[in-house]
Amino acid sequence: MLVTLTLLLIGFSLGSALLLIAANLSGYGANAQGALARSAGIILLLALATLQCLHGGYLLRGDALFASTLYAGLLYVAASAFYLFFIEALHPPAAMNPWRLLHFLPALLAVFLPPRLSIPLAFLVGTVHALLLLRVVYRLRAQRRHFRLEAAAFVGFALIAVLVLVLGLGATWFGERVFFLGYAQLIGLAFWLALWLLLRFPDLPGRAADAVRSAYANSTLARIDRDEALQRLRHLLAAEKVYTDENLSLSGLAGLMALTPHQLSELINSAYGVGFSRHVREHRVEAAKRLLLAEPEASVLSIGLAVGFNSQSNFYAAFREITGEVPGRYRKRSGGPPQ
């Protein structure tokens, strides 16, 4: 029964990896993630998917993975890619550093050392990467008000990574069957968490980018008239309704205001206590609430598109996040026609 469940999770992992890679290549989150983070994400997905294929081979045919150089190398690559993806996500785009690619160098140990030595070392390398990530997160503790959902998501993945490290470092005591079953299940759980987060919160990459910019921003407003900038921002959003442009970005709105993206990000955060993406979502949801009641014959989807959301899932997720209910329920409760 446990083996069957694990094989199902392996199949789920492979399908999820394909979906996430396709989303990455299609440009999902491109404005929120730098090139290095996106590349590390694809490498991580490919490494985990290949590991799951090897786990399937072990469960179905009894493949000797602890004697496999490929398996050892993938453990190093997965640990390094996991670190690079999250370290880039936890820094503003200007902080991207190509030298971080050197974190993939330990993978060479899998080539020059026998698997019985390189595999335990892979989990030690993973432990070092985890400690480095924790140090970055600790430095951001003063900015935790900017990270809510983002921090919770990171904690979820971090807990899965810790369990993987415990399994790896204790493989001698647990036995290889327990290790491979547990590792395959944890990878499946990580894929489930990633898909759930992106389906439940489709704008998560943008929210995370806003949070990072807010956390690292030095004051950039010293030389501008803050009150005038706020008045201009309110005019663009309330009167000109620029939020109805589904492609509206931080840099695009900043250009309309003759500000830099960092200046606009700090302006919104200091005035409203939220990031750019959240502020725009709030305006779109408020406009949608008005239209849901003013245009009872209009479909919920058409209203979501009219106020600037680019898909029904984005509209529903934002509406529920801000109001606590879905659009149809809000319209019905407020006296509109039933959906």
Per-residue pLDDT of the chain (339 residues; tens, 9 = 90+): 888 999 999 999 999 999 988 887 776 655 556 677 788 889 999 999 999 999 999 999 988 888 889 999 999 999 899 888 887 776 655 555 667 778 888 888 888 889 888 888 888 888 888 777 777 766 665 555 555 556 667 777 778 887 887 887 777 787 888 888 999 999 999 999 888 877 777 666 666 666 666 665 555 666 788 889 899 999 999 999 999 998 898 888 989 988 888 788 888 888 887 888 889 999 999 999 999 998 888 899 999 999 999 888 889 988 998 998 999 888 888 765 544
pLDDT of 135 reads 74
* H or E element, residue 295: none
Torsion of CA 14, 15, 16, 17, to 10 degrees: 50
2-210 CATH: 1.20.1070.10
Is the pTM here over 0.75, yes or no?
A: no
pLDDT of 297 reads 87
pLDDT of 283 reads 94
For residue 151, what are its two tokens? 């921090």
Contacts 24+ apart (CB under 8 A), 167-175: 168/75, 168/119, 168/120, 168/122, 168/123, 168/126, 169/120, 169/123, 169/124, 169/127, 171/119, 171/120
The CATH superfamily of 223-333 is: Homeodomain-like (1.10.10.60)
CA distances from 246 to 217, 274, 311, 315 (A): 26, 19, 10, 11
pLDDT of 198 reads 78
CA distances from 206 to 12, 225, 263 (A): 26, 27, 17
CA distances from 155 to 50, 148, 151, 184 (A): 25, 11, 6, 20
Task: Judge contact between 110 and 73, C-beta under 8 A.
Answer: yes
H helix intervals, the chain: 2-25, 35-61, 69-89, 109-112, 115-139, 149-169, 171-174, 176-200, 204-216, 226-234, 250-256, 261-272, 276-294, 300-306, 312-323, 327-333
Exposed, middle or buried: residue 304 (CB in 10 Å: 0-12, 13-18, 19+)?
A: buried
Which residues make up the CATH 1.20.1070.10 domain(s) of the chain?
2-210
Residue 239: alpha-carbon gap to chain centroid: 33
Task: Judge contact between 32 and 206, C-beta under 8 A.
Answer: yes
Which residues make up the CATH 1.10.10.60 domain(s) of the chain?
223-333
